[in-house]
Amino acid sequence: MEIAGEISLSEDPGATMRKWREIFSISQVELAKYLDITVSTISDYEGNRRKSPGTTVVKRFVNALFEIDKIKGGIISAKFREKEKPVNEYFEVHEFARSIALKDFVELIKGKVLTNPDLVETKKVYGYTLIDSIKVILDMPFSYFQNLYGNVNQRVFIFTGISTGRSPFVVVRVSPSKPSAIVLHNIDPEKVDRLAIKISDRERIPMIVTKASVEEIKDALNRI
């Protein structure tokens, strides 16, 4: 299973466990109650104050995440099932081993914030999706759209192949799910469409531009 493997191979298993618990929107109290252990035990594992969890602990942890999610309606579990669709032709989804502050994300990609700078200072993200905007907008089946979000909505969409930035924001505007921020790749700030800026402000989704190459972006972010 993806989660169990990531925790077992992580150089910081505690942070990875915390990341997945947060992705599933499960509190330490909820998890401890389900596993019939103390909250301090959960805290110790996440803070690496206990030795790295063995396979038994990891298995119980992962099973608990899905069982608690099932009780809450199974929203996250459904996303895992959706991920099985063949989507690499349209976009790449990358999950971080730990959460990262959005302001640090912007720095890593050498970005410039154009809208909602206050949210950039407070948000944290768990991954990014690199999107070929032309293929997604013109060719991708609508049923694939939710796959853009990977395991969690708290992520950044990076759109390549854009000319004005209008189309990505129009697409997100009509979507029930929203990313934490949108990056427009290789565009001058003065060329960004005014409607895109208006949608960004209305939806409270920070707009970021970057001239860094795709290779530079992936190299910087895939280390997280």
Q: Where are the domains of the chain?
A: 2-79, 84-221
The percentage of the chain sitting over the pLDDT mark of 90, rounded to a whole number, equals 66
**For residue 147, what pLDDT is reported?**
80
H helices present in 38-186, as ranges: 39-46, 55-71, 75-82, 102-108, 117-122, 133-138, 166-173
Task: Read off the pLDDT of residues 5-43 as tens digits, 9 standing for 90 and up.
Answer: 888 878 899 999 999 999 999 999 999 999 999 999 999
CATH superfamily of 2-79: lambda repressor-like DNA-binding domains (1.10.260.40)
d(Cα 164, Cα 118) in Å, to the nearest integer?
Answer: 24
Mean pLDDT of 51-74: 91
d(Cα 62, Cα 12) in Å, to the nearest integer?
Answer: 17
**Whether 149 contacts 155, CB under 8 Å:** yes
d(Cα 181, Cα 52) in Å, to the nearest integer?
Answer: 34
| Check whether domain 84-221 has CATH 3.40.47.10, yes or no | no
**Three-state SS at 92:** strand
- Break the chain down into helix, strand, coil percent, rounded to 5: 50, 15, 30
d(Cα 40, Cα 34) in Å, to the nearest integer?
Answer: 14
pLDDT at 192 over 90: yes
Task: Read off the pLDDT of residues 101-134 as tens digits, 9 standing for 90 and up.
Answer: 999 999 999 999 999 999 999 999 999 999 998 8
Contacts of 144 (CB under 8 A, 6+ apart): 85, 87, 90
pLDDT at 80 over 60: yes
d(Cα 183, Cα 208) in Å, to the nearest integer?
Answer: 5
